[in-house]
Amino acid sequence: MISVPSVANFNLIGGKENGMAKKKEWKTQKYYHGPAGAHRRAVYKAMGYTTDDLSRPLIAIVNTWGEVCPGHYHLDHLTRTVRDGIWKKGGTPLEFTAISQCPTASLGEPMMRYDLPTRDLLAFDIEAIIEQQIFDGMVILVSCDKVVPGALLAAARLNLPSLILPGGCMEVGSCEGEQVSLSDLDEIIFGALPAGKADLKKIELLEDAVCPSAGACPIMGTANTMQCLAEAVGLTLPFAGTARAVSAERLRLGKASGEAIVKMVLRGETARSILSAKNLENMLRVCMALGGSTNGILHVLALARELGLEKEINIEKVDHFSRTTPGLADVRPVGKYFLPDFHEDGGVPAIMAELKPLLHLKAKGADGRLAADWVKSGKECLQKGRRTVRTLDEPLVAHGGIAVLKGNLAPISSLARMLNNTIPSHRGPARCFNSQEEAVAALKKGKVKEGEVIVVRYAGPRGAPGMPDIYALLATVVGMGLEGQLAVVTDGRFSGFARGLGVCQVSPEAAVGGSLALLKDGDVVSINLPDHSLNAEIPDEEWKLRREKWRLPQMKNAPGILGLFAVNAEQAHQGARLVAHPAPWDKI
């Protein structure tokens, strides 16, 4: 096992250190100090706080703890360490809870439509409480897929001194002498079991083995991709993106985060003072080098638009970085190793050390450091040995792990993982479905033929609505032993667990008249990852005739927040945010 430097070895910068004087004023002094603040203090005194407590910087601890998701189950305990750090540095912690969820329960079901909207719902949740209750800074504890990006959107929107404290990764499971994770069980349940090829005893053993602890599943799925990207963009402390969920190291990170947020308040350092275009470019580079989830790109684009940086960070920049950033992380589901192995090699700082020539080294970090400091610590880790982090000279792949594909089926963009675990191209007749449920049912009944391209449309931000995860379909393909024989194209999303050749986030989506809406069964579809292309072999004149005849199908049942997405969601290449005034879909 390789030793990773403790966060305790990174001296937190603030106060009078490095010649910086402490700030003598903070936001809540206006509202909680003096006679005019008596009615506000009275409410908190009902809960045991004192006048002295309320004279300090008031720090919100946003705790997304819950019992519906192992990634968040341990956060209630982790919160206590954040409290300790805040008290220690002269702040007063005030905790409230916010939503969290795990989409596993709704995989392959219509309820999956609620998955992405929880990102925006969490951002609204945090926004409303922080603005109404009035705080000086906040630490947001998060772990899983849509919860981490929801926290990033909230931090960008509120522009307070802000830190993200990721919950960390789960331990790796063990079954019959093999290391396993939840994705191994998923592929059996969705593929081998319906085909009558599953070992029922093996399913029983895996059920008790694949999730051995709290934390995010220990592969480079969306949850761990986003925890790593939160660190890469500078809103966590070093190594916070990869340390194990259940560890003394994670507890020390909690205390250190509590100390750091108070110092950020005293320095007047807000989220937007950190989240520059250079930071988001570093974030994108790291995503490409990790071979992270395609969801990571969606969330980076959403964050860029939240910050008003869409001219600097957009799908064209993603395409450029895809072509110029090598894939370096040998981590499952597309590599050999697990997240704890990656952490022991140095985690995000180690990847950044290898990416040094491609990074903005003067980009700020939330603890008062620069990206150069992450690079320095990562280099020290790599000098002790490595398994999971390849070099720039000998990468896992010469290009980024995510490709942007364009063509007459994706005039603006689409995304695909482009790594060694999948076939690089596929050409075959289309089989079109208007929902994932229809596609999975047809596949299980043997109605999809080898060589075809399964097209799932009206699964985008407005069409589904909610842009559901189509992972259950790819898991079925892989579990049935059809990987490499079929391809999937959709305007929905794919989980970071997904393997096989799949193209997702086709933009514009079918529901706004995108090309997927015009496809017919039997049309030949060509996917070419090396050429970054996605096309249907249809004459231009035929395209024109079909477009003239196309009419939007009747909207699917969309209660509550889904109804809002059906009207107010932006397109995938814009981050698929829920906004009051969506930008025209043909705008980058």
If asked whether residues 286 and 342 sit together in one domain, one would say: yes
Burial of 241 (0-12, 13-18, 19+ CB in 10 A): buried
Number of domains in the chain: 3
Say whether both 87 and 206 belong to one domain: no
Determine the 3-state secondary structure of 176 from DSSP: coil
Give the domain CATH number at 162: 3.40.50.2300
DSSP codes, 201-256: HHHHHHHTTS--SSSB-SSSSHHHHHHHHHHHTTSS-TTTTTSBSSSHHHHHHHHH
């906004």: which residue's tokens?
579
Asked if the structure places residue 265 within a domain, the reply is yes
Tell me what pLDDT residue 20 has.
38
- Would you state the pLDDT for residue 221? 95
Name the residue type at position 173.
G
- Of the candidates 73, 94, 261, the one whose C-alpha atom is nearest the C-alpha of residue 165 is 261
| Distance set, CA 195 to CA 323, 456, 481, 528 (Å) | 39, 21, 10, 30
Provide the residue count of the chain. 588
Does 35 reside within a domain?
no
Domain assignment present for 392: no
Are residues 293 and 190 both part of a single domain?
A: no
In a domain, 438, yes or no: yes
Block means of pLDDT (10 residues each) for the chain, 588 residues, are 52 41 80 96 98 97 97 98 98 97 91 97 98 98 97 98 98 97 94 92 98 97 97 98 98 98 96 98 98 97 98 98 97 94 98 98 93 97 95 95 97 93 91 96 94 97 96 92 94 92 97 96 97 97 95 85 96 97 76
| Integer Cα distance of 378 and 347 in angstroms | 8
Query: Are 196 and 125 part of one and the same domain?
Result: no
Helices (H) and strands (E) in the chain, counts: 20, 14
CA distance 227 to 373: 19
Q: Are residues 199 and 239 in the same domain?
A: no
Q: What is the pLDDT of residues 534-568, one digit of tens each?
A: 999 999 999 999 999 999 888 778 999 999 999 99
Among 212, 234, 263, give the residue marking a domain's end. Answer: 212
Q: Does 563 lie in the same domain as 516?
A: yes
- Please give the positions annotated as active site: 495
User: The pTM is what?
Assistant: 0.96
Q: What was the pLDDT predicted at 554?
A: 82
* pLDDT in the model for residue 3: 53
Give me the sign of the Cα torsion angle 67, 69, 72, 74.
positive
Last residue of a domain, one of 190, 212, 234: 212
By CB atoms closer than 10 A (0-12, 13-18, 19+), residue 110 is middle
Could you list the residue range(s) of the whole structural domain that residue 307 is in?
Answer: 42-103+117-171+213-382
**Hey, is 142 helix, strand or coil?**
strand
CATH number of the domain that residue 448 is part of: 3.50.30.80
Shared-domain flag, residues 280 and 358: yes
Q: Are 414 and 553 contained in the same domain?
A: yes
What pLDDT does 195 receive? 86
Strand order in the sheet with 58-63: 92-97, 58-63, 137-142, 162-166
Contact indicator for 259, 184 with CB cutoff of 8 Å: no
Indicate if 497 and 549 belong to the same structural domain: yes
> Would you report the helix, strand and coil content of the chain in percent, each value rounded to 5?
40, 15, 45
Beta bridge partners of 429: 524
Q: Are residues 428 and 462 in the same domain?
A: yes
Q: What's the DSSP call for residue 344?
A: H
> Are 282 and 352 in the same domain?
yes
